[in-house]
Amino acid sequence: MNSDFLAKARALAAAGRELHARGWVPATSGNFSMRLASDSVLVTASGRHKGRLNEQDFLAVDLQGQPVDGGKPSAETLLHTQLYARFPKVNAALHCHTPASTVLSMHSPEAELVFEGYELQKAFAGVDTHESVLTIPVFDNTQDIAALAKSVDAYFDRQPDCPAYVIRGHGVYCWADSLDACQRELEALDFLFHCELELRRLRG
């Protein structure tokens, strides 16, 4: 483990403790990653409790999701590595099983969640006004991660500025140019998901 690996592992472990305290990665759910180099990524190992991570709970993989020095990465590693392969500016990605994203995606069959007019949309990179539209795609859940990665990549062909997506009944993926930015956008997303749930409740 070099110093960059250790620093990023410790940063993700700290993020894991915070996200677990929020109730966003219960049990061993969720997975986290950070870019190590142009062709490698640090990811959580399979089956680890995200509120109790240390530097031994991470490993390096290439952009095809294969371990560089052994170990078993998260089953959803391809959903992380495709982000780093496609977007050179992405340096961190977080996947959480937030209750709001899970319930909202199960509540209706939409292929996209559309948010408009919220001041908190400005938490996202490149957005400087509430007079904008934030579109978050929703993909049906599947255990075939390679097929899901292809569906996500096809969406990116059409919408390369997409900042996040939801897997129906499963959770949310969010990425950014830094871990801090990724955590900020994830928190903003959760607020928007909660607002949408409340609006739907009020509308009956």
Q: What is the CA radius of gyration of the chain?
A: 16
> What is the per-residue pLDDT for 70?
85
CATH number of this structure's domain 3-203: 3.40.225.10
Task: Tell me the DSSP string of 162-180.
Answer: --EEEETTTEEEEEESSHH
For residue 103, CA distances in Å to 12, 26, 99, 110, 123 come to 26, 15, 6, 13, 23
User: What letter represents residue 131's amino acid?
Assistant: E
For residue range 45-80, list pLDDT tens digits in order.
Answer: 999 999 999 999 999 999 999 999 888 998 899 999
Task: Tell me the DSSP string of 88-110.
Answer: TT--EEEEE--HHHHHHHHH---
Greatest Cα pair distance in the chain: 55
**How do strand 133-139 and strand 164-167 relate by DSSP bridges?**
parallel
For residue range 112-148, list pLDDT tens digits in order.
Answer: 999 999 999 999 988 888 888 999 999 999 999 999 9
Position 167 pLDDT exceeds 90: yes
For residue 7, CA distances in Å to 1, 47, 55, 95 come to 10, 22, 9, 20
**Residues facing residue 67 across a β-bridge:** 61
For residue range 169-183, list pLDDT tens digits in order.
Answer: 999 999 999 999 999
Burial of residue 143 (number of CB atoms within 10 Å: 0-12, 13-18, 19+): exposed
